[in-house]
Amino acid sequence: MRSIGERPVGPTGDAAAEDVTAKAATVEAILTEVSGWIGELRCASMGRLVQGHVSLSHMHVLWLLQHQGAMAMSRVAELLDVSLSNATGIIDRMEEKGLVERVRVPDDRRIVLVRPGVAGMQALAQSESSKRERLRSVVGHLTPAERPVVLEALRSLRRALSAEVDSEPAHQHHFADATH
């Protein structure tokens, strides 16, 4: 209990509002930074792929297949938020380029799954390689003292991302399992 005239301990209404505002500003600054470098990495990795005739929509399908595994056409359509006929058209074009292949399930030959093909695996590897090259160059600009700080911050961000993704089963990825 406080005496009359004694100031309260802890944040007051104005101080609490300033604290909330400061936290919101920090979150917005983080979002701006992360969005900026994700966009730059995406553009860097896509430049080479577009020259090799792999579109962004085809890469999106390949990333889904890489993270989710082989899936039925209905699931591809659902994740792309397109009709089954649109998804079939996309997969047909990708199959012509060797980016994906359709395989029948041995136990039930009526079920056809889509999985990355040889050219698709090469496109995924090339995309990853481009991103890693760019990141290696970027990290090279950090001072030796900055590197462990950035590493710890990125690990914290990965944990938070894994927690968020794990709460959405339809979009689970392997973020928590990455080791490189």
122-131, pLDDT tens digit by residue? 999 988 888 8
Of 14-18, 75-79, 158-162, 174-178, the range with the lowest mean pLDDT is: 174-178
> In the structure, what pLDDT confidence band is assigned to residue 146 with cuts at 50, 70 and 90?
very high
pLDDT of residue 96: 96
pLDDT of residue 172: 46
pLDDT of residue 77: 95
What share of the chain has pLDDT > 70, as a percent?
81
pLDDT of residue 4: 59
pLDDT(101) > 90? yes
> In the structure, what pLDDT confidence band is assigned to residue 178 with cuts at 50, 70 and 90?
very low
Helix (H) or strand (E) holding 108, with range, is strand 108-116
The mean per-residue pLDDT over the stretch 132-158 comes to 92
What does pTM read for this prediction? 0.66
- State the alpha helices, DSSP H only, in the chain: 13-51, 56-68, 73-80, 84-96, 118-140, 146-166
The mean per-residue pLDDT over the stretch 148-163 comes to 92
Residues 6+ apart with CB under 8 A from 53: 97
Tokens of 20: 């909330």
Average pLDDT, the chain: 83
> In the structure, what pLDDT confidence band is assigned to residue 91 with cuts at 50, 70 and 90?
very high
The mean per-residue pLDDT over the stretch 145-149 comes to 95
Contact 84/113 with Cβ under 8 angstroms?
Answer: no
**Domain architecture of the chain: domains with CATH:** 23-168 (1.10.10.10)
Cα–Cα distance measured from residue 37 to residue 141, given in angstroms and rounded to the nearest whole number: 15
The mean per-residue pLDDT over the stretch 132-147 comes to 91
Contact 100/116 with Cβ under 8 angstroms?
Answer: yes
Of 2-11, 33-42, 50-59, 84-93, the range with the lowest mean pLDDT is: 2-11
The residue ranking higher by pLDDT, 143 or 5, is: 143
Contact 112/72 with Cβ under 8 angstroms?
Answer: yes
